[in-house]
Amino acid sequence: MQAVKNAAATAKEKIGNVNAKVEEKYDKAKASTDEKTNKVMAHDKAGKEEAEQRKDVKQSQAEQAKDQKKLDNLNEKQANKQDINVRHEAGKDAAAKAYNEGYENPENKSAVTGATAGSTVPAATNAAPTV
């Protein structure tokens, strides 16, 4: 179960990374299209250079956003895996404790005989039954 949950966390991270890459490509394409539109509308060389600079800034922002999303996805995956592992260990500890209490505490049911403390269990006799 733990392995399945870890695999799910990894898959979720990969899907998030693919989504971040798609958004980056979209933002870069939009910046490029806006730059071309602004260049056509610009009447002088300074306006065209300004359009190129805006495109470069938008593309670098898109790359930074992608990198940040990938980092967030990685941190979320690690947090999920840590939570899964902590819960798994807590479950193992609780099971071990319950198992050990069955032998140590006379109030609990004995794991060996199935009888509770204070109950009478007939002693085994070797005598032949009386007729």
What is the average pLDDT across 32-43? 94
Q: What is the pTM of this model?
A: 0.61
Q: What percent of the chain has pLDDT over 70?
A: 76
Residue 53 has pLDDT above 90, yes or no: yes
Is 24 buried (19+), middle (13-18) or exposed (0-12) by CB count in 10 A? Answer: buried
pLDDT tens sequence across 54-107: 999 999 999 999 999 999 999 998 888 888 777 777 777 777 777 776 655 555
Between the CA of residue 121 and those of 104, 106, 115, what are the distances in Å?
A: 19, 15, 8
